[in-house]
């Protein structure tokens, strides 16, 4: 998975650079190359990377709810219930 993401990222960056280098010669092809490179980065490489990195993690640990706020503040449930 790591190599696929790296390959997509490198191909997208090369496509963007190529698009900017031929912009004066062929504007339509240049805009397509830049667009496909951007799509490759943001719609392919980034979601695949986020899926790879977040595998096995619990989303509940990262959500801001009352229990996690108490943990961050260092308070116990008993002290807040007695107030």
Q: What is the pLDDT of residues 16-53, one digit of tens each?
A: 999 999 999 999 999 999 999 999 999 999 999 999 99
Q: Give the global pTM.
A: 0.69
Structure tokens at 38: 């951007």
Q: Please state, in angstroms and rounded to a whole number, the distance separating the CA atoms of residues 64 and 49.
A: 23
* HSE-up (13 A, CA, CB side) for residue 62: 4
Q: Please state, in angstroms and rounded to a whole number, the distance separating the CA atoms of residues 62 and 53.
A: 14
The percentage of residues in the chain with a pLDDT greater than 70, rounded to a whole number, is 90
Where residue 83 falls among pLDDT bands split at 50, 70, 90? low
């Amino acid at each position: 998975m790591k190599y696929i993401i790296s390959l997509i990222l490198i191909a997208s960056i090369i496509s963007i650079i190529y698009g900017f280098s031929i912009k004066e010669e062929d504007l339509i092809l240049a805009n397509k190359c830049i667009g496909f490179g951007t799509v490759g980065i943001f719609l392919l490489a980034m979601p695949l990377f986020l899926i790879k990195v977040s595998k096995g993690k619990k989303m509940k640990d990262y959500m801001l709810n009352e229990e996690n706020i108490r943990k961050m503040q260092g308070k116990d449930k008993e002290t807040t219930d007695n107030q």
